[in-house]
């Protein structure tokens, strides 16, 4: 379920403050954040945000195509290792 248009996109206050400060100074260093639920906004384009997935920090370079998505979409928390029995060839028993 998406967020109400009336409310606008959610972005953590501490992350928004860091982004605004970086844009003012024209600094392009990496920002580390735990906020996977924050929405990518147009002010973030050109910045690298390192998102924590519970184990490691995953760097995400923000481009125009990513605006409107959530940061958590680009740092998976689970490792897919294949389905059970996927080593068998199709059609052979």
Inform me whether the pLDDT recorded for 78 exceeds 90.
yes
42 C-beta neighbours (distance < 10 Å), count: 9
- Which pLDDT belongs to residue 58? 96
For range 64-70, the mean pLDDT? 95
What pLDDT band is residue 12 in, cutting at 50, 70 and 90?
very high
Is the whole model's pTM more than 0.85, yes or no? no
Taken in order of first residue, the domains within the chain and their CATH numbers are 28-74 (3.30.860.10)
What pLDDT band is residue 88 in, cutting at 50, 70 and 90?
low
Inform me whether the pLDDT recorded for 87 exceeds 80.
no
Strands, sheet with 57-61, edge to edge from the N-terminal-most edge strand: 31-33, 48-52, 57-61
Tell me 28's DSSP state. Answer: -
């Amino acid at each position: 379920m998406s967020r109400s248009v009336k409310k606008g996109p959610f972005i953590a206050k501490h992350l928004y403050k860091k982004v605004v400060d970086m844009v003012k100074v024209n600094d392009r260093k990496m920002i580390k954040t735990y906020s996977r639920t924050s929405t990518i906004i147009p002010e973030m384009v050109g910045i690298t945000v390192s998102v924590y997935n519970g184990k490691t920090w995953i760097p995400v370079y923000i481009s125009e195509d990513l605006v409107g998505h959530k940061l958590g979409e680009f740092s998976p928390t689970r490792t897919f290792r294949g389905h059970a029995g996927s080593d068998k060839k199709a059609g052979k028993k």
